[in-house]
Amino acid sequence: MKRTRVAVNGYGVIGKRVVDAVGLQEDMEVVGICDLSPDYRLRIAEGLGLPLFAPGKEARTTLEAAGFGVEGLLADLLAAADVVVDCTPKKVGAAYAEAYRKAGAKHIFQGGEKHSLTGHSFVAEANYETAIGRDSTRVVSCNTTATVRILHALDSSNLLARARGVLLRRATDPWESHQGGIMNTIVPEGSVPSHQGPDAKTVLPDLDVVTMACKVPETLGHLHYWYIEMTRPASRMEVLDALRRQPRVAMARAADGLGALNAIEELVNDLGRPRNDLWEVVVWEDILTVQGCELFLCNQVDNQAIVIPETVDAIRALAGAEPSGAASIARTDAALGVLKDFHQPFRSAAGLRPGPYARGRG
Amino acid sequence: MKRTRVAVNGYGVIGKRVVDAVGLQEDMEVVGICDLSPDYRLRIAEGLGLPLFAPGKEARTTLEAAGFGVEGLLADLLAAADVVVDCTPKKVGAAYAEAYRKAGAKHIFQGGEKHSLTGHSFVAEANYETAIGRDSTRVVSCNTTATVRILHALDSSNLLARARGVLLRRATDPWESHQGGIMNTIVPEGSVPSHQGPDAKTVLPDLDVVTMACKVPETLGHLHYWYIEMTRPASRMEVLDALRRQPRVAMARAADGLGALNAIEELVNDLGRPRNDLWEVVVWEDILTVQGCELFLCNQVDNQAIVIPETVDAIRALAGAEPSGAASIARTDAALGVLKDFHQPFRSAAGLRPGPYARGRG
């Protein structure tokens, strides 16, 4: 089997996770990373044996002066790759588009870039097939990915008439939370709709969705409240079934000690996942309420990890390495250990990784 | 004019504000307060010359041992009052109901007590007249008061079909925020509807309202997102006019530097208000969006101050001192300096109080 060669440009919050996730897939490999900040992140990458490339000559000089071994420039990395995943900071990616095209490297942007940059936005569960063989796509942001997963689940079951959501966004990412100062307030977004609703339509154009968003002072992730009008009165069980059929949507119960963002994070920690990553949209099963045609739903979104499985699928789609979205999703999720239910005996779950204590028990 | 004699049982977050607000009205006076904690709050009360009563003999001994002058017991205070405002902690109030009844004192509970305790729940703008001459009522909680004001405004203009709200609640009150520890999470309420929707119906039984609520880590107040279906397509201007007609709903503009809870608080501080109190529900005018029959609205709620003007009106209603709700509201609001608009030249506003610096300028 020819493995898809993947380059990762930017080894930050998303980039390092993409590298790890790609490394877990049988059909792809990381051929190198490109970055310019000579800090702890790249020393970890060096320790992991990742070939390091610099975006340009100046950056190469800086990296080498800091003692890093540099394999070459971005152009060299692109020449060696089938697909490059752009994980540079928001709005920086666009500046690289020309370089990616010139090198003939298929490329994936993250949700911080505009839809128009590639003309295609991607959520595997909703539109994998439309990306097959394309030169480029854009994996939408964390909030938009979660929005599409939830609404697509209901839409696929012909239950969705319209969705109105309130998105509570984490104030900042944990790794840079020392930069923001303590925030004791809530900051509503200045207009309605917030960008996530329209952004979800770049993936599913026919959605009737409006979002309102605000920033709240915590760093663990996002919380969404959805008010959904269904096409007909449905039972709570029908709605739960529709959500259970959707990949990467997992159920949790507040009554099971999982009644807040931090509790879910603690469970994920205990599962032995890397970096506390939560790839699933977590729906609180016991908060979910149906009232005639109306559905009230609350879910959690990890802003750092949710797009990682999507990015792996996007690589496969662009490379034309797997014609079936469902098959790609199944392969990605099995490799990562994505779960469908957080209320189960975990000993039998694919997701549970024994920690170093357990390893020592043998 | 016979002034209504008011007793205040509990000199905490609500009690001290009720005392101050009653003191600003021409037609009522505070005849004493009752409390049992010999701490800084009562030393302030002593400094203000407020007659102090103890709930019982044991408390009297404790207070006297701490050096406080005690005028008598609660029963003595009740005998001297026309109306007692219960400001004891949540769920403590119910234990005093019998004492109030026995003393023949008309009494007002706060929203922490159940509707069934008095059989009447109060928001002046919505149902003042139904409380006139009653023996007791209950001023509903901060979130419910705000909910009733907003929905009543729309209902009065025949615009309200149904309302679905997401209420972001402050984690704790500022004065006790050292007790909770740092919270870095969001805690969704375990079921839908949260209690505020049903509670609003104790005031306006015909409302079609469902609320979802969560606790967020800040101490400044609450933020509500409303998704409202109107009875017909209406213009943004019609909606704004309906809200402007509602007392105690004030408009602010995010674009005017007021785009978050803390900014509104800072403005209120600059207005010279006592304790940074925000009596109005603040609606962000430039976030408010209308789309056919749909209305999207975001507002701020001060959890400590919003019920204060309502409590003053409730005193007047129970005492039978003012037959018109609109007149009572106007009197209360003029005395406090309640505003209708936070985007105006404040020099001409009743609300602006010169601070000590300004006073020194003469």
Q: Return mean pLDDT, chain A.
A: 94
Whether B161 has its CB under 8 Å from any CB of chain A: the answer is no
pLDDT in tens, chain B (362 residues): 789 999 999 999 999 999 999 999 999 999 999 999 999 999 999 999 999 999 999 999 999 999 999 999 999 999 999 999 999 999 899 999 999 999 999 999 999 999 999 999 999 999 999 999 999 999 999 999 999 999 999 999 999 999 999 999 999 888 888 887 788 899 999 999 999 999 999 999 999 999 999 999 999 999 999 999 999 999 999 999 999 999 999 999 999 999 999 999 999 988 888 899 999 999 999 999 999 999 999 999 999 999 999 999 999 999 999 999 999 999 999 999 999 999 876 765 556 666 566 554 43
Q: Do you know the residue count of chain A?
A: 362
Q: Is the separation of the CB atoms in A50 and A33 below 8 Å?
A: yes
Strands B294-301 and B222-230: antiparallel
Does A219 contact B184 at a Cβ distance shorter than 8 Å? yes
pLDDT at A362 over 50: no
Residues of B in contact with A298 (CB under 8 A): 188, 192, 212, 214
As beta bridge partners, residue A297 has: A226
Q: How far is B72 from B51, CA to CA, in rounded Å?
A: 9
Whether A261 has its CB under 8 Å from any CB of chain B: the answer is yes
Domains of chain B, by residue range, sit at 4-140+307-336, 142-301
Q: Which amino acid is at B46?
A: E
Give the model confidence (pLDDT) of A79-109 as tens digits: 999 999 999 999 899 999 999 999 999 999 9
Residues of A in contact with B263 (CB under 8 A): 185
A84: phi then psi, degrees, rounded to nearest 5: -110, 135
Does A223 contact B217 at a Cβ distance shorter than 8 Å? no
Residues of B in contact with A164 (CB under 8 A): 164, 227, 294, 296
CATH 3.30.360.10 fits B142-301, yes or no: yes
DSSP strands (E only) in A35-113:
52-54, 72-73, 83-86, 106-109
Q: How many CB pairs under 8 A join A and B?
A: 135
Whether A253 has its CB under 8 Å from any CB of chain B: the answer is no
Q: Which two tokens stand for residue A157?
A: 């079951």
Q: Is the separation of the CB atoms in A270 and A352 below 8 Å?
A: no
Q: How far is A359 from B355, CA to CA, in rounded Å?
A: 67
- Compute the Cα dihedral for B320, B325, B327, B332 and give only its sign: positive
ipTM value greater than 0.90: no
Q: Which two tokens stand for residue A362?
A: 């043998």
A340 HSE (CA, 13 A, CB side): 13
Q: Is the separation of the CB atoms in B157 and B242 below 8 Å?
A: yes
Which pLDDT score, from 0 to 100, does residue B179 have?
A: 81
The CATH number of A4-140+307-336 is 3.40.50.720
